[in-house]
Amino acid sequence: MSQAADGEIIQFDNVGLRYGTDREVLSDLSFTLYPGSFYFLTGASGAGKTSLLRLLYLAQRPSRGMIRMFGTDAITMPRRRLPALRRRIGVVFQEFRLVPHLSAFDNVALPLRVAGITDRELAKPVADMLEWVGLADRMDARPPTLSGGEQQRVAIARAVIGRPEVLVADEPTGNVDPDMAVKLLRLFEALNGLGTTVVVATHDVHLLQKVPESLIMRLDKGRLSDPTGALRYPPRRPARPADAPS
């Protein structure tokens, strides 16, 4: 279990983010994510969801404030130590960001190869994962030949294959049919059941209702509200989200 398993896994303290000299797109974010919790991040388009996720998966440093991840100060951490931290985080990008010259199999295998897993070790888990997301017969297909939904499933398989301690997903069900959306959500829940902290950014109200144990974080013009008490400790776990966005 991780060092942070006893307490917080990610902690934001008074975090702000601005691009260049523009106004802050995120302001005064202070919250804590706990191991094994399932969070939905909601908010209108342009509220700053993707920016917050970029901070979570270490693609961006904040303009101010403090971020602790897995018990380490992620702001002052030397750059050479960031890859090890990133390998503990699975990411589903909004635009999938699959590597176009690699097959579906190789895209899913990528985090494992980066972590040094041999081809022999990774062959079965990757094949199993692709089978689970319904792409067993598309393993050798390259992303440009896959449909939007298929690409999204490859992206999700890639994000979860390494069993990350934190899974960050940006609109992960935006391009799949309702049945597949539910199936993918079950995948996230299964991962969550194994101890992974899941953060899903979405504006799909139906999705929130399908995970009653989830906690809601709502962003509004770069500021965070806490409709379900997700940011308190111990977090309140409502039976159903009380303040889903319309």
Partner 1 sequence: MKIAAAFGLGTARAERMSGGNGDSELVPQTRLSGPMPWVIAIMVALTVIAMAAGLTLSNMAASATAELEGGVTVQIIEARPEIREAQAAAATEALGTMPGVVSLRHVPQDEVDALIEPWLGAGVQAGAGAAVPVPALIDVQLEGQVSEGRIADMRARLETAAPSARVDAQSDWLKPVFDAIASLQWLAIALVVLLAVALAAAVLLAARNALGVNRDTIEIVHLLGGTDRQIARVFQRSIGIDATGGGAVGFVLALVVILFVGRRFSGLGAGMIDNGALGWTDWLALVFVPIAAAALAMLTARITVLHALRKML
Interface with partner 1 by CB under 8 A: which residues?
A: 57-61, 79-80, 82-84, 86-87, 91, 97, 99-102, 106, 110-119, 121-122, 125, 128-129, 131-132, 158, 160-163, 186-187, 190-191, 194
* Minimum CB distance to partner 1, residue 117 (Å): 6
**Token digits of residue 241:** 């989200």
* Minimum CB distance to partner 1, residue 110 (Å): 6
* Minimum CB distance to partner 1, residue 26 (Å): 16
- Spatial distance between the Cα atoms of 224 and 235, rounded to a whole number of angstroms: 15
Which SS3 state, helix, strand or coil, does residue 64 take? strand
Between 64 and 87, CB nearer to partner 1? 87
* Minimum CB distance to partner 1, residue 39 (Å): 20
Could you give the C-alpha distances from 188 to 88, 93, 226, in angstroms and in order?
16, 15, 22
Q: Helices 148-160 and 178-193: crossing angle, nearest 10°?
A: 0
Q: Helices 104-114 and 148-160: crossing angle, nearest 10°?
A: 20
Between 61 and 206, CB nearer to partner 1? 61
Between 186 and 232, CB nearer to partner 1? 186
What single string gives the DSSP state of each residue in 94-149?
TT----TTS-HHHHHHHHHHHTT--HHHHHHHHHHHHHHTT-GGGTT--GGGS-HH
* Minimum CB distance to partner 1, residue 99 (Å): 5
Between 42 and 173, CB nearer to partner 1? 173
Contact criterion met (CB below 8 Å) for 56 and 125: no
Which SS3 state, helix, strand or coil, does residue 42 take? strand
Between 131 and 140, CB nearer to partner 1? 131
Between 47 and 92, CB nearer to partner 1? 92
Could you give the C-alpha distances from 144 to 98, 102, 140, in angstroms and in order?
9, 10, 12
* Minimum CB distance to partner 1, residue 191 (Å): 7
Between 97 and 223, CB nearer to partner 1? 97
**DSSP secondary structure letter of residue 81:** G
* Minimum CB distance to partner 1, residue 61 (Å): 6
